[in-house]
Structure 1
Amino acid sequence: MDARIEQVVTSGTLALDDTEYDVENNTYLVGDDDEVIVIDPAHDAEAILKEVGDREVMAVLLTDGNEHRLGVVLEVAAAGEEDEENWAPIALHRADRLLWRDYFGRLAKEEDDEDDAKALRSLEPDIWLEDGGVFEIADAQLEIVQTPGHTPGSVCVISEQLGLLFSGDTLHRGRPGSIGGVYEDLRKQLNSIGALLTPLPKDLRVLPAQGEETTVGEEDARWETWGSLANESDDD
């Protein structure tokens, strides 16, 4: 198999509900010597593109629409190309469209040039991700699985050929994914995690958007214990 995985770790801040959190994120490159798909760019486009090198970026997949991803997605999709027609397509689930529009709408308000502001307001992802959708890169397939909860449009990405689950911020090692311990809809997120893990091979590697990798078996064994987190969330 020619396809390989590379990881780039970047750090920065993410604002949620007027609170800023320090976040360290994993971006993954899936591809070969000629082309790659970038999964979850965050914070530092330059560092990600340095790892991409001379390879062609075929697509940029976002597992959610939070702003630490949106802040670099255009630069990563452009990959140094000035002509927008040569940019890689950006893919996001439609249920996170509001997050997308809020972010680029705020950028538009900061623009002095009305044409640039209009372009930002009209900007949309090139591909709306759907449950069961498949991307191909090198000799590997990447299947999209919708996992709402962390955000309405959160997804995970499974590659049976590579033996990998890219879990985004839906699932981190040892816990449901969060930003600074904050959960948007933890009960929905836990239901998504349970439905995701149950049918998968227990030895499948899990590569999250934050922290160290784990396996489906390790997290499936922990899943029921996380119900107490949902109860605590209800009490807040």
Structure 2
Amino acid sequence: MIDKLVTSGTFSLDGGTWDVDNNVWVVGSASEVLVIDAAHDADAIVERINDRSVTAIVCTHAHNDHVNAAVELASRVDAPILLHPDDQVLWEMVHPGTPYEPLADGQVLKAGGIELTVLHTPGHSPGAVCLYAPELGAVFTGDTLFQGGPGATGRSFSSFETIIDSIRERLLTLPERTVVHTGHGPSTTIGAEAPHLQEWLKR
């Protein structure tokens, strides 16, 4: 089961702030789920969870709009927060001194009988990850890959070349029919995005 919730708030980085809508994904079964990217509104996420047990709150990366409700949500549903440690600097900007459990490439997360494999995909941020659920035919990409191309890279943390390498090596190798569930906006498929790699490289 995949459940999508859209929450609204702001994203701030490098002195700028923008209004954003974020996709929050609740994945699992009728009794047990994990939450991907607890953004903006813990109340709305708790309502969507609807008394199901939560195995983890997974952060695809630590930009503030993807993690700003994570700590409150974790306390309310008694679940650990999982984040790749390469995003420690970004995490500290939002939740200084707050612990989390480190994600590792290849780690398998489970909820409600669903298994999701962690794919470390640096580029949008150093610790960006995607979560691949083959039995669902889906990958949750955060801001690594959208409908229409890669997510932006900012600061000096990462480079456009790095995110392209991650997409080419970790995502475009997945089956073409794999549905790409993104951090913002509509979903797409690997097959729909793969033919445009050369266009992205020319940007």
1:67 & 1:61 partners in 2: Cα distance? 14
- Aligned residue in 2 for 1:131: 105
- Any stretches of 5+ residues in structure 1 without a counterpart? 81-86, 106-120, 230-236
TM-score between both structures, scaled by the size of structure 1: 0.81
Please say if residues 22 and 66 of structure 2, whose CA atoms lie closer than 8 Å, have aligned partners that are also in contact: no
Q: How does 1:90-169 map to 2 (within 5 A)?
A: 90-105=81-96, 121=97, 123-125=98-100, 127-169=101-143
- Aligned residue in 1 for 2:169: 195
What amino acid does structure 2 have at the position aligned with 1:42? A
Q: Which has the higher helix share?
A: 1
- Aligned residue in 2 for 1:116: none
From 45, 49, 53, the equivalent of 2:46 is: 49
Query: In the alignment, is residue 72 of structure 1 matched against residue 69 of structure 2?
Result: yes
- Aligned residue in 2 for 1:208: 182
- Aligned residue in 2 for 1:7: 4
2:17 & 2:86 partners in 1: Cα distance? 24
What amino acid does structure 2 have at the position aligned with 1:73? A
Please say if residues 8 and 48 of structure 1, whose CA atoms lie closer than 8 Å, have aligned partners that are also in contact: yes
- Residue aligned with 2:152, SS: coil
Of all paired residues, the percent bearing the same amino acid is: 38
Q: How does 1:215-230 map to 2 (within 5 A)?
A: 215-229=189-203
Please say if residues 21 and 179 of structure 1, whose CA atoms lie closer than 8 Å, have aligned partners that are also in contact: no
1:178 & 1:49 partners in 2: Cα distance? 30
- Aligned residue in 1 for 2:146: 172
**Structure 1 position 70, deviation (Å):** 2.6
**Structure 1 position 102, deviation (Å):** 2.7
Per-residue Cα deviation, 1:153-202 (whole angstroms, up to 9, x for no partner): 0000000111101011000101112389xx95211111111112332110
- Residue aligned with 1:145, SS: strand
Please say if residues 38 and 68 of structure 2, whose CA atoms lie closer than 8 Å, have aligned partners that are also in contact: no
State the structure with more CA Rg: 1
What amino acid does structure 2 have at the position aligned with 1:104? H
Please say if residues 63 and 155 of structure 1, whose CA atoms lie closer than 8 Å, have aligned partners that are also in contact: yes
List structure 1 runs of 4+ shifted beyond 6 angstroms. none
**Structure 1 position 69, deviation (Å):** 2.5
1:204 & 1:196 partners in 2: Cα distance? 13
- Any stretches of 5+ residues in structure 2 without a counterpart? none
How many positions carry a matched residue from both structures?
Answer: 201
1:134 & 1:20 partners in 2: Cα distance? 34
**Structure 1 position 103, deviation (Å):** 2.2
- Residue aligned with 2:95, SS: helix
2:153 & 2:164 partners in 1: Cα distance? 15
TM-score between both structures, scaled by the size of structure 2: 0.94
